[in-house]
């Protein structure tokens, strides 16, 4: 990119200051030259922004005061804020994050003996309107920016260290929103999280979950992504999936199967299928057979997820023996299958429950 294009992006008195975290390192170096600063200072600032996750320019202690003032006058730095926190009796921590424009999103720390997982949001609300998901009953306000995704991870990592003395081990894009409808920002956030200039996290520790957008799954294949892909399936016949997921009208099972095959051919990444069991809807052995027939076409694993009730829907959780029988059928067929027990249900932090509900005062963390 030329200096001229960077200079155009720098503010005049009439212009709004550009967000510094939307700039690449090369763009930042050019901008520094235009400001009359040494380009190596840009690398120092870039390290403060990502590796050290600086919240404001004044914390950049190895920069001169005059440069910090110049940065404040030239650029905007807009970290998210924690609006509320809740801690579940099982140790799960839910955060309500406030973005720079006042919008709220949620993120969850899910602790286990072997993992510290951050569940993060990629959109403010959601446009897909899945019938079982609380976020689906909210309007989509906007996409979450890459820096805002990064901030969620940083904040949840600090919570993991403060409450459990451990750093994050995994990140899942399973919070509010559909990640593949925010493709550019989600992939940029993953790049930043995995970069040596960022958190230097392995992409194998990151999972992006989608409700199923075939053309974007193919695009992931074209981009040769290295992170894990999870498909929220929840029914393996089109009639049932149509009833609970509007996205199936335009992305039916045949289209998804072809896209997943292409994705695997391009990346060699095993695919995870998420399947919420609903009482007397998709929990029969016939449903298990349909699921097996669908997933056997791809190197796959299945996560069976307990349903977490929401006030907007009338679905119910199956009996325990139904869940066990369903899982046993798939295991007997040689499919790697895990029953995921819900975490954080008492604070509306479990799968499908995120809807920006304010906690009661007695649930707030000190």
pLDDT of residue 307: 87
pLDDT of residue 135: 83
- Taking the C-alpha atoms of residue 36 and residue 264, their distance in angstroms, rounded to an integer, is 48
pLDDT of residue 361: 40
- CB of 277 within 8 A of CB of 305? yes
- CB of 206 within 8 A of CB of 227? yes
pLDDT of residue 308: 81
pLDDT of residue 5: 39
pLDDT tens digits, one per residue of 8-45: 344 444 458 999 999 999 999 999 999 999 989 999 99
pLDDT of residue 108: 95
CATH 1.10.540.10 for domain 3-74, yes or no, is: no
- Taking the C-alpha atoms of residue 146 and residue 194, their distance in angstroms, rounded to an integer, is 13
pLDDT of residue 60: 97
Domain boundaries, the chain: 3-74, 81-363
pLDDT of residue 298: 82
Q: What pTM was computed for the model?
A: 0.90
Active site members: 106, 351
pLDDT of residue 355: 56
pLDDT of residue 344: 55
pLDDT tens digits, one per residue of 168-216: 999 999 999 999 999 999 999 999 999 999 999 999 999 999 999 999 9
- CB of 124 within 8 A of CB of 106? no
Assigned CATH class of 81-363 = alpha beta
Mean pLDDT in runs of 10 for the chain (366 residues)?
Answer: 41 69 96 92 96 96 94 96 93 95 96 95 93 86 98 98 97 96 98 96 97 98 98 97 96 98 96 96 97 93 89 86 96 95 60 52 38
pLDDT of residue 199: 94
Helix, strand, coil abundance in the chain, percent, nearest 5: 40, 15, 40
């Amino acid at each position: 990119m030329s200096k001229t294009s960077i200079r155009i992006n720098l503010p005049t008195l009439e212009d709004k200051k550009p967000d510094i975290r939307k700039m690449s390192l090369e763009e930042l170096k050019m901008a520094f030259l235009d400001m009359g600063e040494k380009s190596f200072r840009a690398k120092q600032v870039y390290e403060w922004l990502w590796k050290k996750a600086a919240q404001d320019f004044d914390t950049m202690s190895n920069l001169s005061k005059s440069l910090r003032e110049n940065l404040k006058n030239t650029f905007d730095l807009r970290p998210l804020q924690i609006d509320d926190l809740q801690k579940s009796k099982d140790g799960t921590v839910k955060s309500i994050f406030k973005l720079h424009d006042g919008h709220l999103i949620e993120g969850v720390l899910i602790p286990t003996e072997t993992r510290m997982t951050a569940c993060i949001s990629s959109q403010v609300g959601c446009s897909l309107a899945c019938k079982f998901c609380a976020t689906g009953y909210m309007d989509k306000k906007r996409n979450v920016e890459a820096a805002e995704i990064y901030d969620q991870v940083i904040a949840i990592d600090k919570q993991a260290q403060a409450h459990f003395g451990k750093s994050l081990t995994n990140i899942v894009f399973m919070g509010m929103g559909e990640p593949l409808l925010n493709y550019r920002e989600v992939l940029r956030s993953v790049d930043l999280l995995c970069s040596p200039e960022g958190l230097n996290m392995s992409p194998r520790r990151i999972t992006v979950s989608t409700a199923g957008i075939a053309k974007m799954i193919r695009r992931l294949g074209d981009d040769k992504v290295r992170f894990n892909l999870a498909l929220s399936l929840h029914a393996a016949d089109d009639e049932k999936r149509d009833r609970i997921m509007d996205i199936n009208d335009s992305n039916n099972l045949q289209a998804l199967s072809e896209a997943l095959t292409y994705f695997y051919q391009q990346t060699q990444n095993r695919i995870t299928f998420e399947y919420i069991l609903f009482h007397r809807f998709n929990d029969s052995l016939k449903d298990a057979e349909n699921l097996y027939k669908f997933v056997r076409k791809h190197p796959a694993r299945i996560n069976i997820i307990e349903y977490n009730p929401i006030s907007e829907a009338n679905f119910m959780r199956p009996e325990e023996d139904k869940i066990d029988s369903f899982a046993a059928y798939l295991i007997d067929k040689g499919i790697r299958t895990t029953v995921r027990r819900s975490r954080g249900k008492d604070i509306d932090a479990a799968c499908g429950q995120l809807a920006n509900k304010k906690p009661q005062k007695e649930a707030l963390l000190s």
